[in-house]
A = this chain, B = another copy of it.
Amino acid sequence: MKLTSKGRYAVMALVDLARFDSINPVSLRDISLRQSISLDFLEQIFSKLKKNNIVKSIRGINGGYILNKDPNDIKLTNIFHAVDEKVKTVQCKKDSKKGCNGKATKCITHDLWDELEVHINTFFENKSLQDLVKNNRDSRV
């Protein structure tokens, strides 16, 4: 069980963005340099963040990205959802008539994985971008 880089980078980039976007749009190039993330990869990520209305883009020279919402209203769960990072513990399809192992019934540990998913998602739902910015406000990165 692990988190993918796409999800991690998305959060890192947004924390970076949140710290600077009140002044000017922030270019991906700057984020790339500050956070050591490939520029091309960032573009992929921000394309998705934009589609999900988490950021807005401003084109042209001196352009960049800015947040589209208050940092308090951007939860980790929104970010992960935007970049297709999902918590997946069970294999079985919810809409299918079949159970977890191709059997008619759900598997012996099905409820456990459901419970685990809820546990993790709760964490993501309760954590906002603002929380993360606050923790980094004083530490220079």
Give residues in A with beta carbon < 8 Å to B: 1-5, 7-8, 11-12, 15-16, 35-37, 85-91, 101-103, 105, 107-109, 111-113, 116, 119-120, 123, 127, 132, 135-136, 141
Contact = CB atoms under 8 A, between A and B. Distances in A.
Given A1-B3, A2-B89, A35-B101, 19 more contacts: A1-B87, A1-B88, A2-B87, A3-B116, A8-B109, A8-B113, A11-B112, A15-B109, A16-B108, A35-B108, A36-B101, A36-B102, A105-B141, A111-B135, A112-B132, A112-B135, A116-B120, A119-B119, A120-B120
A16 B116 CA distance: 20
Number of copies: 2
A102 to B, nearest CB: 6
Contacts of A88: 1-3
Most chain B C-beta atoms within 10 Å of own C-beta, residue among A4, A113, A123: A123
